[in-house]
Structure formats: C-alpha cells, structure tokens
Amino acid sequence: MLEFISHLKNRYQAIQSDLIEKNSQYQASLSQLCLIEAFLLKETLYQQAAYPLQIAVMGPTQSGKSSLVNVIANQILAGVSPLAGFTVHTQGFALNVATDSQYFITDFFTDLTAVAQYDLNHQQYGCYSLNYATTEHLPPCIIWDTPDFDSIEAQHYQQGVLKTVALADVLILVVSKEKYADQSVWELLILLAPLNQPIIVVLNKLLLASHTLIIDSFKQRWQASRTDAVPFIYPIMFTDKLAYQADLNAELKRVMHKVKHKSNAKFAKQFIEQHWDDWVLPLKIEQAAQAQWSVWVDEALEEAILLYQRDYLEHPQHYDTFQNALAKLLTLLEIPLLAKAVMHSRQVLAWPLRKLFKSKKQPLDNGIITQETAILEQIAQHMLLQLGDKVLDNIDKSQGYSQWWKAINRQLRQDKDLILQQFTYQTQRYHIDFKATIEATAQGLYQQLAEKPALLNGLRAMRVTTDAALLGLAVQAGGLGLHDLLIAPAMLSVTAYLAESAIGSYLQRSEAALKQQQLKTVETQLFQGIMQQALINLPTKIPSTPYFNISAQQLADAEAQLKVKPHGLRIF
C-alpha cells in the first residue's frame, strides 16, 4: 500500500504542477496523500528498529512555536524572531538521544536535505536540520519545530510540515487568541483526526480577562469538528515571559509514556478508507476513458475484418486469390506448344501485361498494388477516420475528462501517417509471403489431378489454350491477382471444368481453406499485429505529466490490499 500511495501522490504532484489553474480538490488530495505516505513510512521504519519518541510543535504564523520549543527544553535551541514566517524549515532537536538516531531521520526525510541549523537558507525550502542536546526535564525524544501552515509562503514547505506532523508520536498545537479559530487550523485538525495522534493544545498570548471565554470557545469548536475527547489545553497569558512551565512538561511526559504504535495500522487504514474514493475518482475517470478507447479499437477491428470479408473474400469480382492458385496450376499442366503464329499473336495481346509486370519489379517499399492491397489500405484508412470522429464527438460530450480525449486526438493525428505506412509495408510483406500458400494450394490441386489421368488429360485438351498460355505468361511474369479481360475467359472455363469434375468437392474445400487461412493471416498479421497494437498503445505515447497513467490492475491490487485486515498488512 505504501508503494501505491507514494506513486499516486507523485502523480497528483506532477499533474498539479502542470496545471495553470491549480485544482483545489487535487491539492486537498495531495496533502492527504503526503500525510498518510509519511505516516506509513514511519510505521515501516519503526517495525525495523526502535527509535526515540517524536514530538512535533505545530501552529499558524506568530503563534510562538519556536519559543515554546525553547521553554519545553529549558534552553535556547530554536531561533525566534518577532517577524512572521521566520521559521521556514523543519528543525529537530534530539534531547538525550544517541547520535545514531540520525539514520532513522535520514531514511524518513528522503526527499529533504539535511543541513546544519545555522546553514539553513530561507530561499531553499527543501531542507531540514537535526541538532543534539541534553535536558533534565524530558525523557529521550526528538522535538520538532515546524514552519507555519497558513501563510502564502507555506505552499512551498507544506509537505515538509505534513511529513513532520505524520512523524510525530505526540503533537503540540500552538495557537494564539487571534488564530485559534482560523479555518486553516481546523482543516489541519480535521485532517489529522483519523490518525488518532495524542495532542496537547497550547493557547498562547491570552488576556486574563478573556482567556476562559477563548478556552470554552476552542472546546466547543473541537467537539463540533472531531469525535474524540477534547485534549489537554494549556493557557499561556500574554504577559508571561514563557518561562519553564512545569505543568506543561508534566502533561507532555504523561502523554509520552502512553504512546503505543500497535494500533497505528488500524488508524492508517481508517484514514485511507475515509479519503480513498476522492483520491481515485479522477483516476477512475481516466481509466474509464482508456477502457472506452479500447472498446472502440476492438469495435473498429471487428468492422475492418467484416469489411475485408465483404469487399474482398466474398466479393465475386474482387476476390482473385483462388484464381491465382488455378493460374499457377495451369503452369504445372505442361500445356502443349502452340504454333509460332498463334504464339506471336498472344505475345502481342499480352504486351500490356508484360509492361505491367515489368513495372512491378521494384523494391518492396514501393509496394505492389493489387485489388486486395488496395482494399486493405482503404479499410485501414477507414478505421482511423472512424476512430478520429468518435474521439472528436467525445471531446464535446465528455464532462469529466475531455483533456484526456484531446490528448488522444492529438496523438492519433500525429501517428496516423506512421501507422498507415507500417500497415502498407506489412501488407506488401504479407502479399509476397502468402504466395507460398497459393503455391501449396496449386500443388495440392495438381496432386489431385495427377491421381486421375483422364481428368488431367481432359483439362489439357480443353479449347482454352490461348487463354491458358496467357495465364502462364502472367504467372511467369510475376503477376497475381489480375482482372484483365484477356485471362477472365480462361479462368471461368478452368473453374467450371474442375467444379464439375471428380475433384469438384476438393476444389470447393481448397478454396474455402485458402480463404480461411487468408482471413486468419490478414486478421493476425495486419489488423491485430499492426492496427490494433498501434492504436491500443496510443495512450502510452501521450506525455505522462498531465495524466495518472495508473492501470486498472494496479488500482485493483491496491483496493484488494485495503480489504486485508491491518494485522495482515505489515506496511499498515
């Protein structure tokens, strides 16, 4: 689950940073994901070894967080200033702790850079510091002074604050009388509620005349916002010098002794379940768009195969593959030589064919345009046009994720010519390679004739020698699939003769088998191997920055983990 949460957070982060107008819901999800990612990581590290308790002091601007850290430690550790936003880095102070605790902190703050406290630069937000000190007033712990979370600049270091808050075993909220009712304060408290972290509230800079009213108001707001009991509230008057407060430290030590990690897996699961639907909603919208695209591609593929069958395989004028096999058969029958005068006449008649065949002896890339290849290319173009029209229609209709459809439209237009080029090239390859299948069909027919000498001799004696010679010339010249009127009569005569002969049923089976093999080859090599593969993979070519690109299977695996009981999921 930690791995999925981290990946989802990173995708939200990339998408949000790419948006010109920031999405408020995305920002809320990003904050939630950052918090729970850090919480899960902390628990993972705690399972590996024991580490000192962590205390995080948090609060809005100028609430007195750094001063309170110094009061608790009874020494000057954190820098203080009357200027708002003075602390912009997370600063840790390890009290009575061995220096090897730094390894735990380094593993936790993997995306922040450790810097010495006095080298922290206000212009570089991605840093933190960890200092070591001793005190007689607290057991071993690391206390963290955090930046504010309510200023304009807080957006630059908000994730550092959330990570530190998630790291804490005990939270100390410091608010002044001016800020205790701020919306940002309660948004954070509501966000943290499912994690069930112990909280101590310090109401700072109170006036003696109104402090009771403010405390009561805070309690009422807490009861209205959260379901757990109102925490310990420690008031500090405005006139106090923030001297050492024995009662506050006593309460802190009491809470520290009660910290247990064994229930954190349950609390993490509750947090994830509470926000899961909001996190994955845009992801599911994107996946629904991808699924719709896949459905359209499959439908386009089915339509293309039907068109190929209708316009070629089953078309009485267009289909010529079996006639090519019969033409090859005629060259195997050893047709007797004809008179020189007749042969000369046929050569004259066949001159256009020879010119045509001569022009086709070109490199494969230039292609051989036959009836079949022309129909296949038309079907491929039709597929892309139909898909493009559907995408354009969906851009107007889609209210949830039109941006994804716009990206698919751009990618389809960009790749269209390349897809067609690949399809044309592979069509020519198929056309050449399939000649071996045609040859095998002709050989099979010849073997059937050879077993019936009377039929073989009858075929040779047919008065179709002129057309047959022309067919032989066409095959020898390398041409297949022609529909020239010069050879049509011969083909009709040969087909009719064989159909009525003893091998008529074998002839029909041979033609059906050839069509079936041709259909399977075209479907597998061309429509599935080129068109479907290119179109299904089209979404993967979209620049990944503005999209989640998380598969339905990845999401399903993560949701399956949520159904596992917490004790069975170590990272919880």
pLDDT of residue 102: 80
Taking residue 82's Cβ as centre, other Cβ atoms within 10 Å add up to 6
Beta strands 90-95 and 141-145: pairing type?
A: antiparallel
Q: Does pLDDT of 361 surpass 90?
A: no
Provide the CB-side half-sphere exposure for 164 (13 A, CA).
Answer: 32
CA-CA-CA-CA dihedral for 463, 469, 475, 480, to nearest 10: -50
Q: For the residues 62-73, what does the mean pLDDT come to?
A: 87
Q: For the residues 47-53, what does the mean pLDDT come to?
A: 84
Asked if residues 16 and 23 have their Cβ atoms less than 8 Å apart, the reply is yes
pLDDT of residue 81: 67
Q: Does pLDDT of 276 surpass 80?
A: yes
pLDDT tens, position by position, 101-160: 788 898 899 888 888 888 887 778 888 999 999 888 888 999 999 988 877 776 777 888
If you ran DSSP here, which 8-state letter would residue 180 be given?
A: T
Question: Which one is predicted more confidently, 71 or 571?
Answer: 71
Please state, rounded to an integer, the average pLDDT across all residues of the chain.
81
Structure tokens at 334: 């050893």
pLDDT tens, position by position, 488-510: 555 556 666 666 665 667 777 88
pLDDT of residue 268: 92
Q: Does pLDDT of 6 surpass 80?
A: yes
pLDDT of residue 359: 44
Mean pLDDT comparison of 168-182, 318-332, 363-377, 449-463, highest-scoring range: 168-182
Per cent of the chain over pLDDT 70 is 79
Q: For the residues 274-298, what does the mean pLDDT come to?
A: 92
Q: For the residues 509-535, what does the mean pLDDT come to?
A: 91
Mean pLDDT comparison of 383-397, 435-449, 558-572, highest-scoring range: 383-397
Mean pLDDT comparison of 54-58, 370-374, 558-562, highest-scoring range: 54-58
**Residue 350 identity (one-letter amino acid):** A
Q: Does pLDDT of 179 surpass 60?
A: yes
- Whole-angstrom distance, CA of residue 401 vs CA of residue 290: 11
Mean pLDDT comparison of 48-57, 73-82, 147-156, 539-548, highest-scoring range: 48-57
Q: Does pLDDT of 542 surpass 70?
A: yes
Question: Which one is predicted more confidently, 448 or 523?
Answer: 523
pLDDT of residue 335: 46
pLDDT of residue 486: 39
The pLDDT-based confidence of 302 (bands split at 50, 70, 90) is very high
Q: Does pLDDT of 351 surpass 50?
A: no
Of the listed ranges 146-155, 308-317, 335-344, 429-438, the one predicted with least confidence:
335-344
Q: Does pLDDT of 201 surpass 90?
A: yes
- Whole-angstrom distance, CA of residue 492 vs CA of residue 50: 91
- Whole-angstrom distance, CA of residue 393 vs CA of residue 406: 11
**Residue 493 identity (one-letter amino acid):** S
Helix (H, G, I), strand (E, B) or coil at 237: strand
Q: Does pLDDT of 84 surpass 80?
A: no
Task: Please choose, from the candidates 429, 424, 409, 332, the residue with its C-alpha nearest in 3D space to the C-alpha of residue 379.
Answer: 424
Answering whether pTM is above 0.75, one says no
122 contact partners, CB below 8 Å, separation of at least 6: 88
- Whole-angstrom distance, CA of residue 499 vs CA of residue 496: 5
- Whole-angstrom distance, CA of residue 84 vs CA of residue 372: 78
Task: Please choose, from the candidates 281, 59, 369, the residue with its C-alpha nearest in 3D space to the C-alpha of residue 184.
Answer: 59
What is the CA 553 to chain-centroid distance, rounded?
Answer: 10
Mean pLDDT comparison of 238-247, 347-356, 533-542, highest-scoring range: 533-542
pLDDT of residue 521: 93
Backbone angles phi, psi at 277, to 5 degrees: -60, -40
Structure tokens at 360: 């086709």
Walk across the sheet containing 199-206 and list its strands.
Answer: 113-114, 127-133, 90-95, 141-145, 53-58, 170-176, 199-206, 232-237
pLDDT of residue 480: 41
313 contact partners, CB below 8 Å, separation of at least 6: 319, 515, 518, 519
Of the listed ranges 9-13, 18-22, 240-244, the one predicted with least confidence:
240-244
